[in-house]
Amino acid sequence: MRYRKLPKSELTLSEIGLGCYSLTGAYGRKDGEAFARVLRRAFELGVTFFDTADHYTGASEVLGQAVKGFRDKVVIATKVGVTEDGGRDLSPAHVKASCEDSLRRLGTDHVDLFQVHFDDPRTPVAETAGAMEELRAAGKIREYGVGHLPPERVAEWLATTGAVSVMMELSAATRASRRGLLPLCTRHGAGALAFSVTARGLLTGRIRPGHVFEEGDIRRIDALFQEGSFESGLRVAAKLGEIGAKHGKTPAQAAIAWVLAQPGVVSALTGPSSLGHLEENLGASGFALGPDELAELEALFSREDESLAAFRRGRMEAVLSGPLDPDPNAAWKDLVFVMEAAAEFGLIGEARLLEIARPLLGARRKGAQAADLADVQRLLRESLKA
Ligand SMILES: NC(=O)c1ccc[n+]([C@@H]2O[C@H](COP(=O)([O-])OP(=O)(O)OC[C@H]3O[C@@H](n4cnc5c(N)ncnc54)[C@H](OP(=O)(O)O)[C@@H]3O)[C@@H](O)[C@H]2O)c1
């Protein structure tokens, strides 16, 4: 395992880190005991960077227990900002209470990297950062960083606070961060922490057309796994497989090597829940893709970007102009698709997106009623016209 220093901080991270998100059941049901074995094996193989979040239910306890024997040798990152009912709260009171709660659940006296998980537009950055500084002065956190925030908010954090890292989705199939968040990291000297580096398994060569995910697995509705994006991801996986094979490496290893080759990336976070997948992924450390291979991938990405943009625009227009799919689940997925595409094309602001996400999530909880979905369709149509 190789290690990289997180700039502007006293932390050094294994270049491949292990995240605990899968314990939420997002990728199907997982067993805490088995995952604890994965965490311990990761440490034996050199992983020193572990990531969780206050709202990954049960994950902090499993992580804290698993690293008990070697706590001082690892960097524990966790996140704050999501309330129990799924709302956003970055008020100083919530940040401090969440930190105390995380310390208790992790069974430790300090968090190495405390990260803002999502944005809370109601709380000024200076107030949240003030709470982070107080926690640091009290020795409860060593450093702080940010995550899933709109680029303008990340810019504000990096320019005006002591935040040292930005967590972002980045894989050879999900490349949008290269246009916004990664350049911001380079400009401000912050470290980029990439997550979902195998694109939630899509780039491993083990997910094929027609793959059926179990009930409750978010990939059943995740836009990356639908139609155009899924097919594009499979083409990227095939190319990574072809390049990896020349070096005796797997598609997953080539996918992670590609992330590690992106300027500004300090660590690539992956989330396997089996020992086999873990060992495979860690085999990407020290494997560098050659300049010709990187260029070959860039050429493929340009073609994919073009065909994906055309596909998304066409699909967005079809969903907004036509009647919704009579199957409420399919209609719900179509509306999620439009929201994600609109955000990616910069057609809608984060605040408006959040306003529309609320009734959309509400519609799902109520069993996706046609009338509620039609309301969301109308809101989206109006917002995108404005
Ligand atoms: N800030 C955020 O909002 C955010 C969001 C997402 C994630 N993260 C952090 O980043 C971490 C990593 O993200 P992620 O879990 O999405 O990473 P990931 O490794 O891209 O995705 C994990 C999924 O991919 C599968 N997978 C991984 N390696 C595989 C392999 N070699 N072969 C076959 N399948 C493989 C896993 O299957 P198995 O379970 O079968 O191994 C699992 O279903 C998270 O755990 C979390 O800590 C943060």
Q: Which CATH architecture has domain 3-288?
A: Alpha-Beta Barrel (3.20)
Averaged pLDDT of the chain: 93
**Which residues are CB-contacts of 275 (< 8 A; sequence separation ≥ 6)?**
37, 38, 41
Name the token pair of 49. Answer: 């960077």
| Res 364 pLDDT > 80 | no
- Which tokens sit at 383? 């917002």
The pLDDT value recorded for residue 366 is 67
Distance 156 CA to ligand 1 centre (A): 29
- Given a cut of 70, whether residue 386 has pLDDT beyond it is no
Name all residues whose Cβ lies below 6 A of ligand 1.
Answer: 19-22, 27, 51, 147-148, 167, 195-201, 204, 206, 252, 269-274, 277, 280-281
Provide the pLDDT for residue 343: 85
Checking if the pLDDT of 329 tops 90, the result is: no
Pocket test for ligand 1, best of 277, 279, 281 (most atoms within 8 A of CB): 277
Beta bridge partners of 145: 115
Residues 6+ apart with CB under 8 A from 130: 92
Q: What is the pLDDT of residues 250-302, one digit of tens each?
A: 999 999 999 999 999 999 999 999 999 999 999 999 999 999 999 999 999 99
In angstroms, the CA 291 to CA 294 distance is 5
Residue 383 predicted with pLDDT over 90 = no
Which one has a higher pLDDT value, 116 or 343? 116
SS3 label, residue 86 = coil
Query: From the CA of 38, how far away is ligand 1's center (Å)?
Result: 13
Taking only the tens place, the pLDDT of each residue in 189-212 is 999 999 999 999 999 999 999 899
What's this model's pTM, rounded to 2 decimal places?
0.91
Dihedral (C-alpha) 277, 282, 288, 289: value to the nearest 10 degrees?
A: 10
Tens digit of each residue's pLDDT (9 = 90 or more) over 230-239 = 999 999 999 9
For a substitution probing ligand 1, which of 21, 167, 250 has the most ligand atoms within 8 Å of its CB?
21
What separation, in Å, do the N-terminal and C-terminal C-alpha atoms of the chain show?
Answer: 50
pLDDT at res. 261: 98
In whole angstroms, give the CA distance from residue 140 to residue 110.
4
Distance CA 21, CA 18 (A): 9
The residue whose CB lies within 8 Å of the most ligand 1 atoms, and thus the one to mutate among 20, 200, 208, 212, is: 200
- Average pLDDT of the segment spanning 354-370: 77
Question: Which of ligand 1's atoms lies nearest the C-alpha of 198?
Answer: 20
Atom of ligand 1 nearest to the CA of 20: 45
> What is the percent of the chain with per-residue pLDDT over 70, rounded to a whole number?
99
Residue ID of nearest Cα to ligand 1 atom 43:
27
Outline where the chain has alpha helix (H): 32-44, 59-66, 92-106, 125-137, 151-160, 181-188, 227-246, 251-260, 275-282, 291-321, 328-344, 350-365, 370-385
Mutate to test the pocket of ligand 1, among 27, 206, 258, 282 (most ligand atoms within 8 A of CB): 27
For residue 144, give every residue at least 6 positions away whose Cβ sits within 8 Å of its Cβ, in sequence order, or none: 113, 114, 115, 116, 129, 132, 135, 136, 161, 162, 163, 164
The answer to whether residue 368 scores a pLDDT higher than 70 is: no
Percentage of the chain beyond pLDDT 90 is 76
Residue nearest to atom 31 of ligand 1 (CA): 277
How far does residue 261's CA lie from ligand 1's centre (Å)?
19
Higher pLDDT, 180 or 295: 295
| CA 85 to ligand 1 center in whole angstroms | 24
pLDDT at 322 over 90: no
Each domain of the chain, given as residue ranges in start order, spans 3-288, 294-385
SS3 for 265-318, per residue?
Answer: EEEEEECCCCHHHHHHHHCCCCCCCCHHHHHHHHHHHHHHHHHHHHHHHHHHHH
CA 205 to ligand 1 center in whole angstroms = 14
Query: Once rounded to an integer, what is the mean pLDDT over residues 25-43?
Result: 94
Amino acid letter at 268?
Answer: A
| 86 contact partners, CB below 8 Å, separation of at least 6 | 361
